Structure 1
């Protein structure tokens, strides 16, 4: 019989040394680092990979992740439907697809078991945003604290609400990036620097904050009580605290500010709105 085309799965196993899950994932991470992906993206892949390993144990599937076939992933998805939300399942599918696309590209697996695995249909939900009165309540509460943390949180809140920048972008701002009527955003998701233009009210808040921040050994704008750069998780925790103390019934997170900005920006054709809302506060 003539020998043409790719090796069969059995032949591949014979000629190719078997990778462990840990070795395969290590190679994948190295590839991500060579592509200069953000550390948070690599951490996302790591968390999703560990979650899949835990699910295999729960399902009593005695296989490594890299040994899984299409039917195994279908069983995994059906299992996850009983455990987590559709949006979380789709997140896991995206991570697995990226992992196996890489393994297939370097011929570590043949065929690609994720090739025909599609994300699940999900109902599109209305995205919550902040109303004027909620913005005012939060602004008043932060101001009443009369503390460095309160002033810092107010600046984070107003800058994100006024410009639509991401949480990860806000913690990457340095003092030198604040230039009168504009902010230079360097630590972006796609690595393309951009400029945003805060309103005059927010510019004034930034100027006051920089004065009380003072001169430090580093140039990061947003800092904690120990004068160290603030972590994104710390901001998320602070927002959760404000939600409880102000008594907001809806979700309140840094990403909600981005959605609020987008809604207002579209509604008012790009005009600034923060100054008019909080001018008298």
Structure 2
């Protein structure tokens, strides 16, 4: 089997993140285990679509969501496309596969009132963690960067004179994002506290734990959930909701879709358009209150 070569290809040539390559690897191993246990087939390189279909049925029957099943099958599809390119197989068994239908996923952004409640009214502690936490929330909201991009930010990426930050996005694609004055002030304040840490293991990175280690993903999630639980009743409170909030608030204030696309680091407008449903709601409100026909 060529699973190891495929994972190396994703990491070294496609520049996928360790998190993404691990997900692909886990999906392939899960399918391999299923084939071995159910059909005594140990090699998944040469399988028919019927085996894959059996796995899909088993996943659905075990309660796995259609969205998650589609993601797992996407991993298989990429693997077989890789094998096809190497000449190991002559036909991709998933060539005619149709994804399972999924309900449209709508994520509700935080309101301007909720954002104000956290950033302007929340009593953040006047210490390293308090200043770090506030800067994390401010940066996610004012730049729209992803959680992994935030964690990967280095001190050299912030240019306070030019008022910009350099972000390393998916596929190692760089983009420059404007920095607001309030965000710069928070960064300078936090940096003073950061420089006073007794030990710093990962000095290049901006966001550190109190022990001086590089920030990790679950800690960012816990920080967002901690503060927003105090002001919001929304079920989902995560770093991605702040990215969603950034895009929605910009669009609601009249920003054009292409500009928001560039700020978010999307490769196509289709990815950005998922954030427009709230802007349309705002337009409906304006239309409803302003159009003469509505007064009749």
TM-score for both structures, normalised by structure 1 = 0.79
How many residues of Structure 1 are paired with residues of Structure 2 in the alignment? 248
Q: Which runs of 4+ in 1 moved over 6 A?
A: none
User: Does the 8 Å CA contact 2:16/2:171 hold for their aligned counterparts?
Assistant: no
Counterpart in the other structure of 1:188: 169
Cα distance in 1 for partners of 2:88, 2:180 equals 53
1:202 aligns with 2:187: no
- More displaced stretch, 46-55 vs 130-139: 46-55
Counterpart in the other structure of 1:227: 212
User: Does the 8 Å CA contact 1:184/1:193 hold for their aligned counterparts?
Assistant: no
Counterpart in the other structure of 1:34: 12
- More displaced stretch, 173-182 vs 159-168: 173-182
- More displaced stretch, 160-169 vs 79-88: 79-88
Residues 142 and 106 (structure 1 numbering): CA distance in 2 closer, same or farther, change over 3 Å?
farther
Q: CA deviation at 1:244?
A: 4.5
For 1:99-114, what aligned pairs fall within 5 Å after superposition? 99-114=79-94
Select the residue among 58, 73, 76 that pairs with 2:52: 73
Unaligned runs of 5+ in 1: 1-18, 272-281
For 1:93-242, what aligned pairs fall within 5 Å after superposition? 93-139=73-119, 143-180=123-160, 182-214=163-195, 218-242=203-227
- More displaced stretch, 214-223 vs 119-128: 214-223
Cα distance in 2 for partners of 1:174, 1:44 equals 26
Cα distance in 1 for partners of 2:36, 2:133 equals 42
Unaligned runs of 5+ in 2: 257-296
Larger Rg: 1
SS in 2 for 1:230: coil
- Structure ranking higher on relative contact order (CA contacts 8 Å, 6+ apart): 1
User: Does the 8 Å CA contact 2:165/2:178 hold for their aligned counterparts?
Assistant: no
Q: CA deviation at 1:71?
A: 1.2
* 1:143-170 Cα distance to aligned partner (Å, 9 max, x none): 4333322221111111111111111111
* 1:243-274 Cα distance to aligned partner (Å, 9 max, x none): 55556332011111111111111111239xxx
Cα distance in 2 for partners of 1:47, 1:243 equals 32
Residues 116 and 168 (structure 1 numbering): CA distance in 2 closer, same or farther, change over 3 Å?
same
Counterpart in the other structure of 1:87: 67
User: Does the 8 Å CA contact 2:154/2:204 hold for their aligned counterparts?
Assistant: yes
SS in 1 for 2:39: coil
SS in 2 for 1:66: coil
* 1:72-125 Cα distance to aligned partner (Å, 9 max, x none): 112222222232111111111111111111112112233221211222222213
CA RMSD of aligned residues (A): 2.4
User: Does the 8 Å CA contact 1:168/1:187 hold for their aligned counterparts?
Assistant: no
SS in 1 for 2:139: helix
Q: CA deviation at 1:66?
A: 2.6
Select the residue among 13, 18, 22 that pairs with 1:43: 22
